[in-house]
Structure 1
Amino acid sequence: MEILASAFEVITPWHWLGLALVLLGIEMMLGTYDLLWISAAAFGATLWAALPLPAGLSSWQAEAIVFCIAALVLLVLGRTVFSNLRSAVSDRPSLNQRGRSLVGKKAVAVTDFAAGEGRVKLGDTTWMALADQAAVITQGMEVTVQDTEGTVLKVSL
């Protein structure tokens, strides 16, 4: 046990900086934002260890307490106050979601719909389409895309 205690007595600001950079690197691989706050706490412990403080405040125990308190506070703040960092807000929410980007667009029926099924042309592509069985859609009529289900468009008049 004494060997373990003596190992902690040689902790320098470089050790805290190394821990902060390792945690930051792992965070960059995972993208959870949780290790980001713990890494920031390690940076805080680095600053604490580098400050010229009185002997009681510059021990490894004081540095570990500063690290633990900072990590706990930053982790709670990260999960509550800064929780919006986790949700990416895009100015183009339908990017790479072709079906979702087609909703609301106008298409032209290529075939007559039988039992609510037919084909429509949207842009330069012909799509399978479903409509309400009560709707009478004939070739050449304009329809509106309401939703998508895989590669099938759900349309209405």
Structure 2
Amino acid sequence: MILQWITDIGGWSWIILGLVLLVLEVLAPGIFFLWLGIAALVIGVISLVVWGIGAELWTWQVQVLGFLILSVGFVYAGRSWLARTETDSDEPLLNDRVAQMVGRTATLEDPITNGVGRIRLGDTLWRVEGPDLPAGTKVRIIGGSADRLEVERA
């Protein structure tokens, strides 16, 4: 039933699919649905042009194959184009909180015992790794991961 309905409306089904994919791109940005939407629109336009001329050769299987080939081609071309036009960020450490803290100094809240202790930065207590030091010692952050900072004596 659905296949019959899609066949009856011909190229307009591809146009509708292309527009739906473009709307999805607006709602869920990521520059992926854009290329699929463009591929569907191209197949739709070709279908409308070919509809009266060679409809017996332009079956739904050929249309789907064309859509798949165009989709892969547009995704590849779009990714290549975006990679060439990409600009460096003016805030490269924006989403790397640990890298933003490297070089800062803090006072040990809890002593570093067996290589593990705590410091307070702002309103957050951070677990730290480093040489054993008593509480109250000034330390400098030299690196870390999402859950621990590496420190040395300042």
TM-score bracket for the superposition, by shorter chain length: 0.5 to 0.7
CA contact (8 A) 1:100 1:148 kept: no
CA contact (8 A) 2:107 2:120 kept: yes
Identity of aligned residues (%): 23
Report the secondary structure of 2:35's partner residue: helix
Distance 1:77 1:7 in 2: 24
User: Rg: which structure is higher?
Assistant: 1
Unaligned ranges ≥5, structure 2: none
TM-score, structure 1 as length reference: 0.58
Structure 2 partner of 1:113:
112
AA aligned to 1:143 is: R
The verdict on how the C-alpha distance between 1:55 and 1:125 changes in structure 2, with shifts beyond 3 A counting, is closer
2:72 to 75, 80, 90: 75
CA contact (8 A) 1:107 1:142 kept: yes
AA aligned to 2:14 is: W
1:56 to 53, 62, 66: 53
The verdict on how the C-alpha distance between 1:50 and 1:120 changes in structure 2, with shifts beyond 3 A counting, is same
Structure 2 partner of 1:38:
36
CA contact (8 A) 1:118 1:129 kept: yes
Per-residue CA deviation, residues 53-98 of structure 1 (Å, 9 max, x unaligned), is 69434x26437435632531331441x3433669x99834554554
The verdict on how the C-alpha distance between 1:48 and 1:77 changes in structure 2, with shifts beyond 3 A counting, is closer
Instruction: Count residues in correspondence.
Output: 145
Structure 2 partner of 1:17:
15
Distance 1:113 1:153 in 2: 12
Unaligned ranges ≥5, structure 1: none
The verdict on how the C-alpha distance between 1:41 and 1:110 changes in structure 2, with shifts beyond 3 A counting, is closer
